[in-house]
Chains A and B, each alone.
Chain A
Amino acid sequence: MGDIILTMKGINKSFPGVRALNNVDFELYKGEVHALMGENGAGKSTLMKVLTGIYKKDSGTIIYDGKVVEFSNPREAQQAGIVIVHQELNMLGHLTVAQNIFIGREFMKGIRIDDERMNDEAAKLFKRLNISIDPTEKMSNLTVGKQQMCEIAKAISNEAKIIVFDEPTAALTESEVNELFEIIRDLKKKDIGIVYITHRMDEIKLITDRVSVMRDGAYVGTLISKDSTKNDIISMMVGRVIYEEPKTESKVPEDAPVVLKVENLNAGKLVKDVSFELHKGEILGFAGLMGSGRTETAKAIIGADPKESGDIYINGEKVEINSPRDAVKCGIGYLSEDRKRYGLMLQRNVAENSTIAYLENFLKGIFIDKKKENSETEKYVESLAIKTPGIDQLIVNLSGGNQQKVILTKWLVRNCDILIFDEPTRGIDVGAKSDIYKLMNELVKAGKSIIMISSELPEILRMSDRIIVMCEGRKSGELRIEEASQEKIMHLATMWI
């Protein structure tokens, strides 16, 4: 391992009502991959945003390359050689891939931007990184995974000395993750220091050298990755035992009533002839690769996307669902995978977001009953352990995992009988994850039924009673939990590709 390239000492940072960073220390060597772990809201992203000049620290010192530094904006950090790949995608949808990669440091030919050269350079970069993306493609036309790869390529093209990856793999497919790891190993060889924020335990051993753990805005400690076990890290993160029993058998009786039946559903290119049944009290897992049509199926069911054909029965009765409003009336709630875009009103507070789907229940005449709204929200904030200074905090200020819990609150308030969870734990730490799992189990026990779309196989195997696997927009198989295994699911998920 090389010399120290970065030392952060005694960093403090407060937001109104939140002590996000409390005397945090952090250290990074050259050529090291240093994992940063911690529960949702522990302050990982904030620490890195302080480092890269996005937030101003309240106090503390940052020593970079032997000098005390203080960046006042991301550009200064970038010029000094510190770049960050953000947790949330930061793409400019209307520009091309190459234009995105070189934004802010365009190649010029006089006053004219040299787009040809940028395309060439981007192509070279992709070739070096071994990714196949057309530099002239519009960014918004790429899949989320590819967009993420572009973000990474952009960071790498910066001649950086430190690269921060904030949960880079949350939106990547398995093979893309492997590509990323190759890239990271390559960067290591070039003596670049890498900070790697993740919630995935299995990645720690695979790619990182050391792990630093944060809890509630404070630094807990650092471990050598190869000498530490998963449990060491987890107990540092949460200091409690995690609910992690995989399911071996389904407790749902074979003859449980069918609450939702979908027959020959067709919608667009990614939903072809999908049929399935959902029983009362069941968690039905939807497995498959990214882009296999699972989200699209859910969206067609709830009427967010137009259906071409197919019937939907609720409790045996045929229903017409042409809009999400119809779906809600039929008692179906959908938790989007893309919380920023579809799930939340970012500029509104926790209470408003929690009650929006069921405002009729919070009315007093024509006015909104604030008291009831608040007390009901408080209840869920407590039971879901949502980390927020108060229910009047704006959603945009919550950490990713806590935002997810608020979406959950929204549908729990609504009291839907059928819940569709789309990637419910994406970007959520182990603690919150097990909270959400527990909650799902309680929900089905209470007689609700859940469809869970997930790209994480361990999660599918842990939670589902039955598993439906999709591939290329079609249902490629159905497994009972007793017969399911990772291999079988993967086999079905790649059946036609």
Chain B
Amino acid sequence: MSGRIRNTPVSSNKSVIRRLGGQNVVVFLIVVALFAFFCIVSPNFRRYSTILSILDYSYYITLIAIGVTFPLITGGVDLSIGTGLICYSLIGGYLVVYQGWPVWAGMIVCVLCGALIGLLNGFLVGTMNLPPFLATLCTMMMTRGLGSICSTGLGIPWPTAGTEGGWFRTIFKLNIGDLKLPLGFLWILLLTALMSFILNHTKIGRYIIAIGSNKEATRLSGINTKYVYISAYVISGIFAGLAAIAYSAIFASVYPGTGAGFELEGIGGAIIGGVSMTGGVGSVVGTLIGVFVICILKTGLPFIGLQANWQQIITGIVLIAAVLIDLSRNVKGRAINR
């Protein structure tokens, strides 16, 4: 009898999406379709410079999205990354511009600040057992205030290209004669590969997924869940630090009080890319692709005459669609379960 006891055939449950190779492929097709749509509708969109600007504005969102993927997979969230990245950029920039620190030191400060706030988040969530939403909402407000204080309320102009220290802007955009190369995209790809490896093939990645699947079971397996939470939030913080560098390199000046809302674009990108809000599911590659849906919309919509407010409405709709896909997938998962 034993062989007969129903073990639900999984293959037959594969949805169309699954057969197409997973949500990644679908979202990728959406990115391509969106891109093609804007190219067809708006002649101005079809320019190398547009692609460049899509990429320019994507870096910092992509970076925080990759980072926040990790807390999301644990079943948590990190809201502090948006205001955080501005805060780190202000602190680093202040040291560079007003204290005469070398640019590389300012960059390291950005990442360290991010890691520190990540550590605080991880401590609040993992050790103090605060709900992630609450813990990171607090650090979100704290970073917002801290940024203003550190820059004494002023905008910070990181060194411009051509001046001393301006080299750091070429990390993301290399000019060879007249040709501008989006070098930043290469770094993004490398970081995606690295984080993908960490998520799928290292212990810490495995435990992050495990916690998102079933926290109590993970604890009972003898895993120190505290450290796992801390690692997830530190990763998120470090990437917010990297995003701070990217932001400083793309924009002429950084202003205190901005940054709120970036985190939603990052989290939105991750969710469009297939990260489940309930934890346990998600991939870094998916996040990367998902972010581009948001970034193309953001850059493309003005080309067809829809301004900022419309962008937000449309981004919201896209998010709902993504979450619905996530939900339907969950229902299917449960159906298999029975």
Contacts and interface: CB of A to CB of B under 8 A. Distances in A.
B222 A73 contact: yes
B122 interface: no
B273 interface: no
A74 B220 contact: yes
A93, A113, A138 pick with most chain B CB within 10 angstroms: A93
Contacts of A268: 335
Q: Is the interface of A mostly helix, strand, loop or mixed?
A: loop
Contacts of A292: 6
B202 A104 contact: no
A95 B213 contact: yes
B278 to A, nearest CB: 10
Contacts of A113: 201-203, 206
A104 B7 contact: no
Q: Is the interface of B mostly helix, strand, loop or mixed?
A: helix
Contacts of A179: 2
B138 interface: no
Given A54-B220, A141-B8, A143-B7, A175 B336 contact: no
A31 to B, nearest CB: 26
B210 A143 contact: no
Given A95-B210, A95-B213, A295-B338, A143 B221 contact: no
A112 interface: yes
Contact of B222 (A75, A176, A295): A75
A141 B10 contact: yes
A103 interface: yes
A73 B2 CA distance: 36
Interface residues of B, number: 35
A104 B222 contact: yes
B45 to A, nearest CB: 39
B281 interface: yes
A95 B5 contact: no
A479 to B, nearest CB: 20
Contacts of B218: 92, 103
Given A112-B201, A141-B10, A142-B7, A90 B2 contact: no
B215 to A, nearest CB: 10
B6 A291 contact: yes
Interface in B186-223: 197, 201-203, 206, 209-210, 212-214, 216-223
B334 to A, nearest CB: 8
Contacts of B2: 132, 173, 175-176, 179
B177 interface: no
Given A90-B220, A91-B214, A95-B213, A108 B5 contact: no
Interface string A474-497: 000000000000000000001001
Contacts of B280: 92-94
A108 B214 contact: no
Contacts of A115: 201
A160 to B, nearest CB: 13
A259 B87 CA distance: 68
A99 B221 CA distance: 12
Given A75-B224, A289-B5, 9 more contacts: A94-B209, A95-B209, A108-B203, A113-B203, A141-B8, A145-B5, A174-B1, A289-B1, A291-B5
Interface of B: 1-8, 10, 197, 201-203, 206, 209-210, 212-214, 216-224, 280-281, 333, 335-338
7 contacts: A74-B219, A86-B220, A90-B214, A112-B201, A138-B10, A175-B5, A290-B6
Across the A-B interface, the 7 shortest Cβ-Cβ residue pairs: A75-B222, A291-B6, A90-B217, A94-B280, A92-B213, A175-B2, A94-B213
